[in-house]
Homo-oligomer: A and B are copies of this chain.
């Protein structure tokens, strides 16, 4: 019997450390040539499997693979492509199995968030019902930090660090200018459904900064919010606001949705930050500045958390170990042992319990007034942003890896992706 090959794919929005997980998967697989044959990566995620575009990671040098640890983004390409349900498009799942069969793939490593965990679980089930031996292991990844059964998700700690550092830096700036100029700075951060990322902005309070956090979990109350900003500006001379893109009015509409139209009738271009900033200006008269971090926050490998990078790597490594231990339909997890000193161990969770379950931020992580974080939240966040793990630089710019990404010859007829 020949040695089974492996398939790895990156899924959904990429992060500054998803390549560290890829590095963990590939380096660990390479240490077991007796158990794992070739390791293919999907070109642009699961699309690469459907299209039979398999990247031969064996063509990449050890140096190139090691460099993935410090390279943001998805080195093999990712995709936003959710497989339909088994009932609606069984053909897609069968195609995956056909491609895996054609290329002797016995291990399926899927690196993504909740949707991907669901796909990974379905693939494992179908392989069983089709009598094809495949071990499907999910490698967690999401800046949204919303996967259940793991203390945290790779990608989140680095975004949290970026948001905390950026909030502190911009707040120092505003503090300098407030006597005659800008008094309120608004930073918009990601997190459509949960306030994990916005919460990191609350860490700025550790450095004495007056900061108001607007969470998706707390219905926006304009009068209360303005009263809080007014109070802080009167007390400190300035304040910063960290607003989650998911912050919304009681009727469910996002702050960014103002129903405005441009000269051509197009809906107003988004951004919760400018809306909040203008609101402050109109009500309180303060000069403002606002920023929207968008991709900068999730791509900021230059300020990644060392804890996050290490865990991303370890979970990739552990995923391969779980496969070698014969496990199937599982996801390696982080189990926190203590906050300070920070200690954790790696565990695992069945995909059945992970798929399509969103972990909300606990209400007791948000202060009673809804505008800050509690000590409990602070103790949770601090270890996740601990440590710096700088990339190498050359000529003033970070040295990020771009792989060869050689695609192996196809063996099957083309498949139309719906």
Contact = CB atoms under 8 A, between A and B. Distances in A.
Q: How large is the interface on A (under 10, 10 to 19, 20 to 34, 35 or more residues)?
A: 35 or more
A71 B386 CA distance: 20
Interface stretch (A77-85, A129-137, A353-361): A77-85
Given A77-B178, A269-B278, A383-B396, 19 more contacts: A16-B169, A45-B179, A73-B176, A74-B177, A75-B176, A81-B180, A164-B397, A170-B299, A173-B298, A174-B295, A260-B262, A269-B274, A271-B274, A291-B293, A382-B395, A385-B397, A386-B395, A387-B393, A388-B390
A166 B382 CA distance: 24
B385 A296 contact: no
Given A165-B302, A289-B295, A262 B269 contact: no
Contacts of A294: 170, 289-291
Nearest to A273: B292
A396 B164 contact: yes
A258 interface: yes
A402 interface: yes
A246 interface: no
Copies of this chain, how many?
2
Interface string A153-196: 00000000100111011101111111111100101000000000
A206 interface: yes
A176 B398 contact: no
